[in-house]
Amino acid sequence: MSTRQSPTPPERTLNDALGIEIDGAEGDEVRGHIPLSDRILQPYGLVHGGAMLSLAETLTSYGTWAGVQAEGKLAMGQEISASLIRPITSGNVNGLATVRRRGRTAWVWEVEITDDEGRLCALVRATIAVRAPG
């Protein structure tokens, strides 16, 4: 008997719970956003840093998967770190992920999180592991 489970339906994932949307991928970049809502705020009315990191990991995991899925490989977060620079209190949380290294077993990305005025709100570096299924 296999312990491997089938994929989780998208409507039951963290991405759906937070409202993360992938806007597109082209070349070495992936863009996405989260519309501001109460579910991504911390008690002081600012976007929670965890929501920003969730957007960054989603964009980088998606970008890595898009690059390796034709080989039958999977992509999953391995490491993430961020500098939270300024708060977001309205509009959207916007992310632009740029791949910096495409390795055989891991890809390294940088993500700029901005507000709707284009102001830099967070800088994120993520390493996404590339693995064979199973």
Please list, in sequence order, all residues whose beta carbon lies within 8 angstroms of the beta carbon of residue 125, skipping any fewer than 6 positions away. 80, 81, 82, 108, 109, 110, 111
Helices (H), the chain: 14-18, 49-68
Known catalytic residue at 112: no
The one catalytic residue among 11, 26, 57, 117: 57
Residues marked active site are found at: 57
